[in-house]
Amino acid sequence: MSIKDVAALAGVSPGTVSNVLNRPEKVAGSTRDRVETAIRQLGFVRHGSASTLRAGHSRTVGLSVIDIGNPFFTDVAAGVEDLASERGYAVILGNSSGSRAKEERNLLVFAEQRVRGVLITPSDEDPVRLDLLRERGIAVVLVDHPAERPDQCAVAVNDVTGGYMAVEHLLSGGAGRIAYVSGPASIRQCQDRRRGAGRALAAAGRDPLELRELAMPAMTAAAGQQAAATLLAGDALPDALFCANDLLALGVLRGLLQAGVRVPGDVSLIGYDDIDFASASTVSLSSIRQPTYQLGRAATELLLDECDNPATHAHQQVMFQPDLVVRESTR
Amino acid sequence: MSIKDVAALAGVSPGTVSNVLNRPEKVAGSTRDRVETAIRQLGFVRHGSASTLRAGHSRTVGLSVIDIGNPFFTDVAAGVEDLASERGYAVILGNSSGSRAKEERNLLVFAEQRVRGVLITPSDEDPVRLDLLRERGIAVVLVDHPAERPDQCAVAVNDVTGGYMAVEHLLSGGAGRIAYVSGPASIRQCQDRRRGAGRALAAAGRDPLELRELAMPAMTAAAGQQAAATLLAGDALPDALFCANDLLALGVLRGLLQAGVRVPGDVSLIGYDDIDFASASTVSLSSIRQPTYQLGRAATELLLDECDNPATHAHQQVMFQPDLVVRESTR
DNA sequence: CGCCACGATTAAAACGTAACAATCACATCT
DNA sequence: AGATGTGATTGTTACGTTTTAATCGTGGCG
């Protein structure tokens, strides 16, 4: 079941079989046919590990995301998976669940597997671990995160703009007090979206500091419901809520509706990501749309270019722009 | 950066380093410490491919799902990923998108990577490819699919019961004409749920054949919306709709509401899977709940047992039971 | 005091492939 | 006819680890 058996059956040397597998153009048509039928006859499949060991690099990439349960990331993953598999790469998936320890475990696995490259949406801002990968010759592309230095690739969506759009929209609806329901402070997206929100307030002649922030430990629907409970327990509800993602927003929405609060009558609500389910919710959700699938594809494109053409590869920082999607949940 | 460098620094032989890595109890405490500090000092990480090549097996498992965009499968994947990573296994993800060709490509990748085992929700009933894997010594566990033969592991939820529950519930609401909005006929789950639906009709003294079926090419919200359009174009709407999963149901719901049809006033609607978003939709969705995360965990448990204790391993078929969850979308 | 047993360590061989230099067959040109 | 070039194929070596059998040193026992 090895390349040697194929070689024996086809009456050639192992080297020729290897050539058929890796550089078919280098081998004469007739012998190529002979080898290929031998391969089929024996049901031979290349031993990826042996190949990796010898060649010094594998045909796999690692993908580390923050929450595989979030449709935003599954859309990204779909983009990654599609392009990678078109190019003959396998994807090893790692879900960090927002935990730094899990993220590090995943990166270790990637390093052990000698993946060709890593796509990562980092769960915090510490660049050290990634540099460690790069030192090992593993290409790294940041996904949904701007580059930290010019000598690296990154693909992101402008979160400051997105936050600005969201709050500008709330203000245009006449919102007075606005609160920002956010995720862990360590997540850059949350900070950037807040920054944009603050700028929108400033642009409207108001004090950015009046934006009240409620930082939840996770960005899930359950956390959103929790946030709603906290808001309801406070003195007065804000006029409008900007949630750092749609999962939070959907949870908040549920919590508010269950308490008899009307959306958008009593409170306007806007989410972020425009996941598929945002338009299907009880009160359809206004949101900030991101080109999610494209994000994954673009990141993979950069990564594979860096892997396959290291000589000509030029590091790039791609920045997509978000869109405002207005639905029922905002006035 | 190899085991040899570690050995040199620690003043031992490469074999000892290997023992520290794989059978720490076999090596004396003092030398173990010495080796471990050397490892840390050099930032050494084991070359997984070399290890796999020599040992004959890897520490990875393959997971092949039908639609990574479906929260049902991401929940399953979360269960798989959690347990696998607890046990030190990496997960290679393959998304077949319902396409047999893609599924086969993924299985080929798994075979090349010499994964230790494969978890698969097959997209059709052909067992041949899986036997091919088993012949290669790769353990296979069927996920959300009953075993085809007694000598294999499988984890499933009783879909016939689930279909029965759904239609029984619709009938108890006084439904007259019922239609079944399904996915590709090749997907077993769709067939089983239909079978259960038929039995429920029979149990109510009605003809199972009166269940009209609308088979969509995909099980997505978009396909569901398509289905709604088809239904609306027909002569008369059924009294009740049973959708083969929640994504279809959410799409149908949207399509019906947009056309001014009231749910459940004009049409009752029930989905399947009870994904998180089912309870958050415009009209909250009645559904059939499955222990999704548990499904993934249980399957992985069986797979790793088969991998790690091949001698004592006994093949098992686990069958979970579904639950009816009644919400607003049904009378 | 010599022998044995035992735990700890080592030397060496193998896993299956890729890549390079070397060889070969053959045809073209001088 | 001999030299030269070209394209196809092969032999060999190395990748980094695991594993087995062999070796080493130490202490207990007769």
Q: How far is the CA of B43 from the C1' of D24 (A)?
A: 31
User: What CATH number is attached to the domain comprising A263?
Assistant: 3.40.50.2300
Q: Does residue A329 fall inside a structural domain?
A: no
Considering the domain architecture, whether residues A175 and A273 belong to the same structural domain is answered as yes
Q: How does pLDDT run across A199-212, given as a tens digit for each residue? A: 999 999 999 999 99
Same domain, A113 and A187: no
Band (B48; pLDDT cuts 50, 70, 90): very high
Contact residues on chain A for B112, CB-CB shorter than 8 A: 45-48
* B286 and B171 inside one domain: yes
Q: Which of A101-115, A122-136, B182-196 has the lowest mean pLDDT?
A: A122-136
- Whole-number Å distance between alpha carbons of A174 and A67: 34
Q: Given pLDDT bands bounded at 50, 70 and 90, which one contains residue A126?
A: confident
- Strand D lies under 7 A from the Cβ of residue A14: yes
Minimum-distance nucleotide, CA of B15 to C1': C10
Residues A173 and A133 in one domain: no
Q: Note whether B69 contacts A: Cβ–Cβ < 8 A.
A: yes
User: What pLDDT was estimated at residue A203?
Assistant: 97
Q: Pick from B65, B286, B94, B98: which is nearest to B183 by CA?
A: B98
Residue A128's pLDDT is 78
pLDDT number for residue B316: 95
Other beta carbons less than 10 A from residue A287's beta carbon:
29
Is A178 within a domain? yes
Protein CA B14 to sugar C1' D17 (Å): 9
- What phi, psi does B160 have (nearest 5°)? -65, -45
- Kindly tell me if the per-residue pLDDT of B195 is higher than 80: yes
Judgement on whether residues A23 and A144 belong to the same structural domain of the protein: no
Q: Report the pLDDT value the prediction gives residue A301, as an integer from 0 to 100.
A: 97
Do A143 and A192 lie in one domain? The reply is: no
In A, minimum Cα distance to B252 occurs at A280
Find the domain containing B179 and state its range: 159-291
A173 and A268 both lie in a single domain: yes
Residue A326 counted as domain residue = no
Residues B267 and B195 placed together within one structural domain of the fold: yes
C1'-nearest nucleotide to the CA of B53: C15
* Closest residue (Cα, C1') to C15: B54
In a domain, A328, yes or no: no
Return the pLDDT at B98: 87
On chain A, the residues whose CB falls within 8 A of the CB of B94 are 81, 90
**Who among residues 16-45 of B has its Cβ near strand D, under 7 Å?**
18-19, 21-22, 44
Please indicate whether, in this complex, the C-beta atoms of B49 and A52 are within 8 angstroms of each other.
Answer: yes
User: Any chain A CB within 8 A of the CB of B39?
Assistant: no
- Across the range B168-195, mean pLDDT stands at 96
Average pLDDT over residues A73-98: 92
**What is the reported pLDDT for B129?**
85
Instruction: Specify the nucleotide whose C1' lies closest to residue A16 (CA).
Output: D9
Question: For the residues A190-197, what does the mean pLDDT come to?
Answer: 97
pLDDT of amino acid A51: 97
**For residues B320 and B291, is the Cβ–Cβ distance under 8 A?**
yes
Separation of CA A295 from chain center? 7
| Cα separation, B106 vs B134, whole angstroms | 15
Q: Given this model, what pLDDT does residue B266 score?
A: 97
Q: Choose among B45, B69, B279: nearest Cβ to A111.
A: B45
Give pLDDT, residue A330: 97
Q: Tell if the CB–CB gap between A132 and B43 is shorter than 8 Å.
A: yes
- Taking the C1' atom of every nucleotide in all shown strands and the CA of A19, the nearest one is C18
Give the CA distances from residue A252 to residues A97, A241, A261, B314, in Å, rounded to whole numbers and listed in that order: 21, 9, 11, 47
Residue B78, CA distances (Å) to A74, A95, B82 in order: 12, 8, 6
pLDDT at A127 over 80: no
Give the DSSP letter of residue A25: G
Give the SS3 label for residue A157: strand
* pLDDT reading at B303 higher than 90: yes
My answer on whether A167 and A233 are in the same domain is yes
Q: What is the mean pLDDT of residues B200-206?
A: 97
Query: For B163 and D13, how far is CA from C1' in angstroms?
Result: 63
Determine the average pLDDT of the residues in B140-158: 94
Q: Which residues of A touch B276 (CB under 8 A)?
A: 221
Question: B1 lies in a domain?
Answer: yes
Q: In this structure, how many other beta carbons lie within 10 angstroms of the beta carbon of residue B234?
A: 11
Question: Looking at CA atoms only, how far is residue B91 from chain A in angstroms?
Answer: 6
Residue B301: pLDDT band (50, 70, 90) is very high
| Cα of B95 to nearest chain A Cα, Å | 8
Do B117 and B26 fall into the same domain?
Answer: no
% of chain B surpassing 90 pLDDT: 89
d(CA A167, CA A240): 9
pLDDT tens string A153-190: 999 999 999 999 999 999 999 999 999 999 999 999 99
* 8 A C-beta contact, residue B134 and residue B140: yes
Count of alpha carbons within 13 angstroms of residue A72, beta-carbon side: 25
For residues B125-132, average pLDDT? 84
For the question of whether the overall pTM of this predicted structure is more than 0.85, the answer is yes
Quote the CA–CA distance of A74 and A65 in Å, as a whole number.
9
The verdict on A60 touching B (C-beta cutoff 8 Å) is: yes
Residue numbers of B between 249 and 288 with CB closer than 8 Å to A = 250, 253-254, 276-277, 279-284
Residues B61 and B132 in one domain: yes
Report yes or no on A141 lying in a domain.
Answer: yes
Backbone angles phi, psi at B187, to 5 degrees: -80, 120
CB neighbours (10 Å) of residue B139? 24
Q: Do B71 and A71 touch (CB under 8 A)?
A: yes
pLDDT at B314 over 80: yes
Same domain for B221 and B74: no
Angle between helix B3-10 and B14-22 (nearest 10):
110
Report how far residue A28's alpha carbon sits from residue A179's, in angstroms, rounded to the nearest whole number: 70
Classify residue A330: in a domain, yes or no: no
Q: Looking at the predicted structure, is the pLDDT value of residue A92 above 80? A: yes
Mean pLDDT in residue range B262-266: 95
What's the whole-number average pLDDT of chain B? Answer: 95
For residue B118, the surrounding DSSP H or E stretch is strand B117-120
Q: Give the CATH number for residue A36.
A: 1.10.260.40
DSSP, collapsed to helix, strand or coil, labels residue B236 as coil
At residue B58, does pLDDT exceed 90? yes
What per-residue confidence (pLDDT) applies to B16?
Answer: 96
CA of B14 to C1' of D29 (A): 35
Burial of A184 (0-12, 13-18, 19+ CB in 10 A): middle
The arithmetic mean of pLDDT across residues B146-150, rounded, is 90
CB-nearest to B95 from A1, A53, A81 is A81
Taking CB atoms and an 8 Å cutoff, what residues of chain B touch A277? 250, 277, 280-281
- CB within 7 A of nucleic chain C: A 1-4, 14-15, 18, 21-22, 44, 46-47, 50-51, 53-55; B 11-16, 19, 26-28, 30-31, 50, 53-54, 56
Mean pLDDT (whole number) for A314-326: 97
Residues 6+ apart with CB under 8 A from A209: A198
Report how far Cα A281 is from the mean position of its chain's Cα atoms.
23
Asked if B91 is an interface residue toward chain A (Cβ–Cβ < 8 A), one would say: yes
The model's pLDDT over A253-270, given as tens digits with 9 standing for 90+, comes to 999 999 999 999 999 999
Name the domain count of chain B: 3
Token look-up 């059709």 returns B124
Question: Would you tell me which residues 131-150 of chain A have a C-beta closer than 8 angstroms to some C-beta of chain B?
Answer: 132, 136
Q: Which residues contact A250 (CB under 8 A, 6 or more apart)?
A: A221, A224, A271, A277, A278, A281, A285, B277, B280
For residue B98, is it within any domain?
A: yes
Nearest CB partner across the interface for B95, out of A78, A102, A276: A78
